[in-house]
Copies of this chain bind each other. A is one copy, B any other.
Amino acid sequence: MSPRTSTQLQALREERSMQILRAALKVFANQGYNGSTIEMIAREAGVAKGLLYSYFESKEKLLESLITYGLEKASAFLTEPPDGPQHTKEAFAANLRKMVQLFREEQDFWRLYSMLILQPKMAEKFKADAMSFLETYMSVYGSYFQQKQSKNPMAEAMLFGAVLDGLMFDLILSPDEYPLEEVLDMIIEKFA
């Protein structure tokens, strides 16, 4: 029998696991997956490198856990129930700000995710998780462009998607100087 209760044990392991995931995210995002070593991640987490292997079975599985967890967290954030009428200009603006907030709170994650999906082999690996998140995203924005007056709702939705992706990209490249508020107003003016 175990000297500790299994629930206590589970909580401890959960916390260590998160500590390692946080460290891995930071290192992977800054050095890239192949440029990161297990040693770097262990040092960042403040533990010995052998310990990582009692929480994740390999470097590759560690990355997979990180991405799956990150996309699930993002989906959960997006599906928080909206607190007002939908399909209005105000709801559009609120959703837009929510997307930006989602991104800014998890910059490192989106930076890493962007790096990975640019490589075919990695994109393949995360296809399922990515599709799942895309569905969540579409449930937030999909209907907006359908009910809105537009010559070509599908093209407008695609373009808006590109705007979000490009905005994310540009915010990564110059997070401090970027005139975010003005650009958001411009997006609302053109798309809402």
Q: Tell me if A96 counts as interface (CB < 8 A to partner B).
A: no
The interface residues of chain B lying within 8 Å CB-to-CB of A189 are 151
Q: Tell me if A78 counts as interface (CB < 8 A to partner B).
A: no
- B172 touching A158, Cβ below 8 Å: no
Number of residues in A with C-beta < 8 Å to the partner? 42
A 75-115 contacts with B by CB, 8 A = 111, 114-115
Q: Tell me if A4 counts as interface (CB < 8 A to partner B).
A: no
The interface residues of chain B lying within 8 Å CB-to-CB of A167 are 162, 166
Q: Tell me if A35 counts as interface (CB < 8 A to partner B).
A: yes
- A165 touching B170, Cβ below 8 Å: yes
Query: Chain A 151-175, CB within 8 Å of chain B: the 1/0 string?
Result: 1101110110111111101101100
- A154 touching B179, Cβ below 8 Å: yes
Interface of A is mostly: helix
The interface residues of chain B lying within 8 Å CB-to-CB of A30 are 119-121
Task: From the candidates B114, B152, B169, name the one contacting A162 in the complex (CB within 8 A).
Answer: B169
- B166 touching A169, Cβ below 8 Å: yes
Q: Which of A44-52, A65-73, A180-188 contacts B (4 or more CB under 8 A)?
A: A180-188
- B187 touching A159, Cβ below 8 Å: yes
CB distance from A43 to the nearest CB of B (A): 17
Q: Tell me if A118 counts as interface (CB < 8 A to partner B).
A: yes
12 A-B residue pairings within 8 Å (CB atoms): A30-B121, A32-B34, A32-B115, A33-B35, A34-B34, A152-B185, A155-B185, A158-B186, A159-B163, A159-B183, A159-B190, A162-B163
**Chain A interface residues (CB < 8 Å from chain B):** 30-35, 111, 114-115, 117-121, 123, 151-152, 154-156, 158-159, 161-167, 169-170, 172-173, 178-179, 182-183, 185-187, 189-190
